[in-house]
Copies of this chain bind each other. A is one copy, B any other.
């Protein structure tokens, strides 16, 4: 059976759908509880289902696997990024738009404070299968965003360049975050993390920002971005 996501009667949320959403949330909560208490590998799907008062078999009509419990809002960030691209100003270049989209995604982290998000970060670093799933979701998101970016700048970016640009941005931010979050001293101060990410992305993406100033023809020693690497 496929996992339902929307409601059938568009104007009204039916009892069925409300019940379903409640059970779904109960599963996520129970999983978070058990993952924190017993560990990811030690928690079985049967445990989670029992804690949410459903049969083991029924679990699989809500989530396709144990990892999915950690990413219940899969494409929310993607939608935010796409919206940021859609609401671009007339003078913005591809890099500016993408930068703003990613900053919005990163800053909209009500995420970073929630218990599930913290647990997710820890399990991504700890459990290989979770990391694999996270990377896969990120990769799919990149693809989606790159497509919209190419559509937004049809005369300045072909599909390959848009993908490269998006991949560079996301890769820079992700890698910087990985190093920062592995340092056990940085944790607990979101402002520090954010500042370090900004600095690192400036270093990594300086060429892209310069290139997006004009259509890749003019010299641009003048509008150099704020943080070149130290001499």
Q: Footprint of B on A, CB under 8 Å?
A: 94-95, 128-129, 131-133, 135-136, 139, 142-143, 146, 155-161, 163-176, 178-180, 196, 199-201, 203-208, 210-212, 215-221, 224, 228-231
Contacts and interface: CB of A to CB of B under 8 A. Distances in A.
Contact of A136 (B131, B164, B218): B131
Among A160, A172, A173: residue with most chain B CB under 10 A: A160
Given A171-B175, A216-B221, 12 more contacts: A131-B136, A131-B139, A157-B203, A157-B229, A160-B196, A161-B199, A164-B172, A167-B173, A167-B174, A167-B204, A168-B169, A207-B211
A210 B175 CA distance: 21
A160 B203 contact: yes
Contact of A143 (B165, B178, B204, B206): B178
B180 A175 contact: no
A157 B171 CA distance: 17
Contacts of A95: 207
B146 A179 contact: yes
B204 A207 contact: no
Number of copies: 2
A143 B165 CA distance: 20
Contacts of A218: 219, 221
A185 B215 CA distance: 30
Given A139-B135, A207-B208, A217-B221, A172 B165 contact: yes
Which 7 A-B pairs give the minimum distances between C-beta atoms?
A171-B171, A167-B175, A132-B132, A219-B219, A207-B211, A164-B200, A167-B171
Contacts of A220: 219
11 contacts: A94-B229, A132-B136, A146-B175, A158-B229, A160-B176, A160-B196, A163-B176, A164-B203, A164-B204, A167-B176, A167-B204
A16 to B, nearest CB: 30
Contacts of A205: 168
Q: Which of A95, A171, A220 has the most CB of B within 10 A?
A: A171
Most B-side CB within 10 Å, residue of A146, A159, A175, A211 = A175
